[in-house]
């Protein structure tokens, strides 16, 4: 493990980290920035390539408790320099440059011994919602997530925090609308859009079979041209005087219902 002390915000590695946090990429092998000790520990547990960890002087004892790969570079700097890189309010002065995982469609569709359960994100813009959906997807056994054009980057700093580390483990693939439907249908997956009206209650839908659920924009819902390609539609019956649910809440309810049905099947 290489340990270096830095005393300037102009350090090249700190600049690289600042760019990764502010403008995360989706290219293969692209580096993403993680904030805080919990996410760094999760990345190490997930076996991701951790290129560099930067810590404030007050966090040196924390670092000593980590088992870092020999190739990981460790930078120690004054707390205020590290904090200036981060977007979290009152953050702990820890961040890392990590190689984002490369997920395949095969991984997103899951293993042959269980039916695919895929969430399709269609133009979701709120990073907190996307992060929460990723967390629920992992919690309720989804096999993968598809991000369509117009959806916020899953490596957005707020999305990563809201996912509580699930973004590091949940297979996420980016695809065009055409590729998404072609891949899902070729794999025998039924694609269901979500809707408020004119749809079958999720509790009466068969979510045990291979299925993909499309979640739409927080305000406009699933775009009409995408919904029109779906094989059917599901809704969540709400007895209260509420027209629709928050996108992340809706995704969580649907994922729970799918997990409930699949558990009952066994």
CA 151-153-154 angle, to 5 degrees, is 110
Give residue-wise pLDDT tens across range 29-73: 688 999 999 999 999 999 999 999 999 999 988 988 888 888 899
Q: 105-265 has which CATH code?
A: 3.40.1280.10
Average pLDDT for 214-228:
90
**Domains of the chain by residue range:** 2-99, 105-265
Query: Measured between alpha carbons, how far is 195 from 228 in angstroms, rounded to an integer?
Result: 12
Q: 2-99 has which CATH code?
A: 3.30.1330.30
Of 188-192, 195-199, 205-209, 258-262, where does mean pLDDT reach its minimum? Answer: 195-199
Query: Measured between alpha carbons, how far is 104 from 77 in angstroms, rounded to an integer?
Result: 37
Question: What's the pTM value of the predicted model, to 2 decimals?
Answer: 0.91
Residue 26 pLDDT exceeds 90:
no
Report residue 256 as tokens. Answer: 């729970």
Give residue-wise pLDDT tens across range 152-178: 999 999 999 999 999 999 999 999 999
In the chain, count of helices (H) and strands (E)? 10, 12
**Residue 16 pLDDT class (50, 70, 90 cuts):** very high
Q: In this predicted model, which residue has the larger pLDDT, 64 or 146?
A: 146
Q: Which helix (H) or strand (E) holds 108?
A: helix 105-109
- What is the SS3 assignment for 105? helix
Query: Measured between alpha carbons, how far is 117 from 189 in angstroms, rounded to an integer?
Result: 9
pLDDT at 113: 76
């Amino acid at each position: 493990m290489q340990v270096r002390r830095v005393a300037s915000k102009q350090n090249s590695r700190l600049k690289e980290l600042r760019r990764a946090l502010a403008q995360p990429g989706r290219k293969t092998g692209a580096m993403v920035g993680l904030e805080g000790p919990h996410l760094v520990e999760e990345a190490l547990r997930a076996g991701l390539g951790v290129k560099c960890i930067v810590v404030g002087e007050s966090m040196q004892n924390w670092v000593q408790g980590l088992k870092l790969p020999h190739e990981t570079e460790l930078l120690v700097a004054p707390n205020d320099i590290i904090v200036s890189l981060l977007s979290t309010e009152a953050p702990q002065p820890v961040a890392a440059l990590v190689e984002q995982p490369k997920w395949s469609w095969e991984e997103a569709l899951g293993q042959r011994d269980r039916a695919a359960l895929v969430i399709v994100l269609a133009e979701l813009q709120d990073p907190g919602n996307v992060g929460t959906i990723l967390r629920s997807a992992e919690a309720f056994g989804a096999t993968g997530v598809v991000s369509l054009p117009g959806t916020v980057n899953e490596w957005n700093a707020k999305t990563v925090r809201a996912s509580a580390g699930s973004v590091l483990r949940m297979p996420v693939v980016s695809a065009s609308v055409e590729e998404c439907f072609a891949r899902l249908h070729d794999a025998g997956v039924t694609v269901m859009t979500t809707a408020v009206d004119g749809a079958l209650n999720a509790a009466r839908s068969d979510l045990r079979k291979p299925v993909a659920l499309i979640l739409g924009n927080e305000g406009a819902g699933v775009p009409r041209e995408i919904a029109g390609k779906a094989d059917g539609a599901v809704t969540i019956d709400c007895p209260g005087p509420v027209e629709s649910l928050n996108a992340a809440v809706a995704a969580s309810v649907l994922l729970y219902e799918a997990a409930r049905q699949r558990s009952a099947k066994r």
